[in-house]
Structure 1
């Protein structure tokens, strides 16, 4: 890609995330004189600046950060006409990128890194040949409108981390099962990246644990889903003539792992004790209702106790609007938060008096750490806590599913069904109809022995009561019909991990 093209692409990106404060001559002319340049960050370790020490000099300047943590600068041309012509922002960016990519600079400069939150696919596909990169770009432009912000963002992160480096330039018509096999191998060797953490080097498959292998399989399935949707989108829009690229995309079977990171009542109280006042209200709201943080952030006074004994929850993500019933304790809590507010006011506000959006994340992590709770617990774990408490108290899965906003009990059963073991045990013991008179008499004779055995098996660790561990290395029943070459890659990885663990 030419330096001018890169400058144009960067300007389009800046319009969305970080506008340059000296993008035109009027803005530059208003900058006060000073000996040091004004800097605008292009990427981490790459900057563009204006040096305006007096009225006789005003130049564009580029800057890099070296590996020794020192800055190096280069003059790019006049930014204002002081008798030597002018250079536009676009041209200055092109010259800056050309200097950044020169051999001398690349050998001493630190690696550039993108700023802030991912907002688009990190490619700019060009040319008449429709590539995988074109398909991903077109698909994500559609998901920006059609999907929730969170789902769209997650897609972008996976695409940029796993798909762009290896598949972006491949003509889509040529995509086949061998490329899917290579993707499986690459996913196995590529460590996950969370947030703004550093990129990690590839790892050997033999170093993976069984649980890491299971997670890699889930990542692979997510990528297959993204590719299939993108390729189908391209097919539907007549960008390709062959069905093969999307028909060869098949998921692989992977064992489901139930949720185990949630809290009992003592742990809930410890968490609440270390929350800020506003966060405490948000946490209580989640524990009383099982609602997502986004649903609670959108809750207004008019949604509380108007259509029934509970909350009206508006449509969120892909879930339709629903009504969540509350216990007396929860209803009293929400009514107390509505006092003195008008019908359209938000029920819950942050410590700064603003509606909750994403401000809770760091506050919640801090509270979890202070309460010495599992480090992996996130706010969504309170939703799991709500569901798990209902299920182990004997509430039917259908009721829990409706409270959570799920269309069926399948998700609830897969995610929390193992928590109903003690309830299931109690139902079997009390409700089984006597079958054989002699054995019924024997049971009555052995009643003290049976009660002693039952008491010895009871435990406070209700998360794992009667839990039979399934190996992540073997796949259970699944409707997935993977490509044979892909199955061989993951099966070989499972055998290698098993041989290391033996």
Structure 2
């Protein structure tokens, strides 16, 4: 701890009372480049500090009132010694900030980290901004938002995660209305779903906190790195269509929507990616279609089969490079939820029960590649996954019969039961 400067000039009430009145504070050097200031007012004095920043200039800050009349409380009213301590703390904080380290005097909270993460997500081209804001507003900010990042602990995060896993699912409520919840499902499947949801929310929190650490807003990432997601809670089976169901669905669609559904089955592209796809994104020579910005904010090229190439060649015919490839019957763009009713009606006509969402077409594309022996690295590239982990999680187990037949074919016969020669 730094030594308190003893100086009768400012140290006592009597000494300060005898100082001549003037517009500028009376200063006392307490560290090289740092002065403690005392200003004598009409009734009581006040403390300040200043530091030398070069070229004859100083940076100043107010510290609090002096204990000239009232006794010090260590917060608003300070003794000479307490004023020195605060001046030194301020001086150290400014020096750290100058060197690029987190400012210890600035209270950086979890909410601040979430705000910075959203701005970074938008800057990187993230497309699910609404979903991100809902996750943050509904599940993270109410409990953790006000906590200072430096004081966040593993125990607090784990307690919050446990709360998420035990809370009933939220349902939509009107703007300005209190949140509403569904009845709590106490079954094993209900608990699994809540834990899986909690894991997804934890991923968002960890991403925001990790970004704060990268930007040196917090000194350690140990608090959240040690928190483990719930294990073995992912859905055990992903739905996909077999070839017969896929053909029936395509036939059941009206013309404009049939084109969109067929493109999804032949590319694995998401609904939003197809809805925004323009003629210039299709490269007939390379047999690829470009996704300028995917869900992750990154671009990718999808390689087309012969069937896919024919579909896109027909879809872009007589259109300008800037035109949308897939449009509605009236020529308008496909909106964010326009596909829901069309999918439901097509499933009814095709006899697909229960009806599927558009995203199942992406699963169908990937699962068909898996069952036909495509390497997971190729599938991950086509889907826009960063690596094969997500691909393995969702698709590697989809076709046990395919795995069984592949093993039989690849392993061959050892003939261990043959008669010895």
Query: What TM-score do the two structures reach when normalised by structure 1?
Result: 0.54
Structure 2 vs 1, CA of residues 320 and 177 (structure 1 numbering), >3 Å: closer, same or farther? closer
Show the counterpart of 2:373. 394
Most deviating of 193-202 and 335-344: 193-202
Shift of 1:371: 4.0
Q: Note if contact 2:291-2:302 (Cα within 8 Å) is conserved in structure 1.
A: yes
SS of aligned partner of 1:324: strand
- Aligned counterparts, 1:330-409, within 5 A: 330-358=308-336, 359-375=338-354, 377-409=356-388
Structure 2 vs 1, CA of residues 430 and 237 (structure 1 numbering), >3 Å: closer, same or farther? closer
Shift of 1:404: 2.3
Deviations 1:408-459 (A, max 9, x none): 4333222111234223322333343432364499xxxxxxxxxxxxxxxxxx
Show the counterpart of 1:70. none
Structure 2 vs 1, CA of residues 390 and 171 (structure 1 numbering), >3 Å: closer, same or farther? closer
- Aligned counterparts, 1:187-198, within 5 A: 187-193=164-170
Show the counterpart of 1:455. none
- Aligned counterparts, 1:271-282, within 5 A: 271-282=249-260
Among residues 403, 409, 418, which one is paired with 1:424 in the alignment? 403
Q: Give, in whole Å, the separation in 2 of the partners of 1:348 and 1:440.
A: 66
Among residues 243, 246, 271, which one is paired with 1:265 in the alignment? 243
Q: Give, in whole Å, the separation in 2 of the partners of 1:237 and 1:431.
A: 50
- Aligned counterparts, 1:117-132, within 5 A: 129-132=107-110
Q: Give, in whole Å, the separation in 2 of the partners of 1:440 and 1:378.
A: 57
Structure 2 vs 1, CA of residues 391 and 164 (structure 1 numbering), >3 Å: closer, same or farther? same
SS of aligned partner of 1:149: coil
Q: Highest CA radius of gyration, 1 or 2?
A: 2
Structure 2 vs 1, CA of residues 217 and 376 (structure 1 numbering), >3 Å: closer, same or farther? farther
Q: Give, in whole Å, the separation in 2 of the partners of 1:398 and 1:154.
A: 28
Deviations 1:174-207 (A, max 9, x none): 3223322331232123233366699444866xx4
Among residues 221, 224, 227, which one is paired with 2:205 in the alignment? 227
Q: Note if contact 2:114-2:208 (Cα within 8 Å) is conserved in structure 1.
A: yes
Unaligned runs of 5+ in 2: 1-105
RCO (CA 8 Å, sep 6+): is it higher in 1 or 2?
A: 1
Structure 2 vs 1, CA of residues 421 and 301 (structure 1 numbering), >3 Å: closer, same or farther? same
Tell me the number of residue pairs that the alignment of Structure 1 and Structure 2 aligns.
311
Query: What TM-score do the two structures reach when normalised by structure 2?
Result: 0.63
Q: Give, in whole Å, the separation in 2 of the partners of 1:161 and 1:396.
A: 39
Shift of 1:407: 4.2
Q: Give, in whole Å, the separation in 1 of the partners of 2:230 and 2:214.
A: 25
Show the counterpart of 1:28. none
Q: Does 1:284 align with 2:262?
A: yes
Structure 2 vs 1, CA of residues 375 and 423 (structure 1 numbering), >3 Å: closer, same or farther? closer
Shift of 1:370: 4.9
Show the counterpart of 1:178. 155
Show the counterpart of 1:156. 133
